[in-house]
Amino acid sequence: MIKLKNVNIIIMWIMIFTTFLSISIAIWQINSKYNKINNTLRAKTIVLPQKNKTNERFIISGEIFELNNKQKFINQKTNKKQILLLSGILVINNKKACIINGMFLKEGDTIKNIKIIKIFHNKVEIEINGQNINIKPGEKIIV
């Protein structure tokens, strides 16, 4: 027959073991929840869209314009005279720019003999060979 003293010692060790086991399970659950949260945060930072210059949205003449790398702009030459096509006026971070023959230009930029003087919300003022000319979006000018 087992002595009463030995039974108390066995019960004490069982209680210590179950306490240790329950604390270990609680710590494991907390760690697994933390890891799940950490993994989802890590996944969200990886999934965030990267700024891609070939696929951006612009506002051109009051409409949203999405520029894809598949789209091409018109750059035509006829009889050694160049056709300027103003595709649109952009507002990017409160800075105005325009697209002329597929090139993004801001105020003060020059291409060959063409200088962008001022960009308005509905027209662009350019200087060609000393002459100031206003172009509206979609308008073509032969230089």
Task: Identify the pLDDT of residue 37.
Answer: 55
pLDDT at 95 over 70: yes
The domain limits of the chain are 72-142
Q: How many CB atoms lie within 10 A of CB 130?
A: 7
pLDDT tens profile 17-62: 999 888 888 887 777 766 665 554 444 433 334 444 444 444 444 4
Percentage with pLDDT > 70 across the chain: 62
CB 66 within 8 A of CB 74: no
Query: Would you call 64 helix, strand, or coil by DSSP?
Result: strand
The proportion of the chain whose per-residue pLDDT surpasses 90, expressed as a percent, equals 9
What's the pLDDT score for residue 14? 92
Specify the pLDDT at position 131.
87
Round to whole Å and give the CA distance between 42 and 38: 6
> What number does CATH give the domain 72-142?
2.30.30
At 93 the pLDDT is 78
Contacts of 77 (CB under 8 A, 6+ apart): 83
The amino acid at residue 78 is T
Average pLDDT of the residues in 78-107: 79
**Amino acid letter, 134:** N
What is the per-residue pLDDT for 125? 92
Across 61-84, average pLDDT: 49
Q: State the average pLDDT for the chain.
A: 71
Handedness of CA 66, 63, 75, 119 (dihedral sign): negative
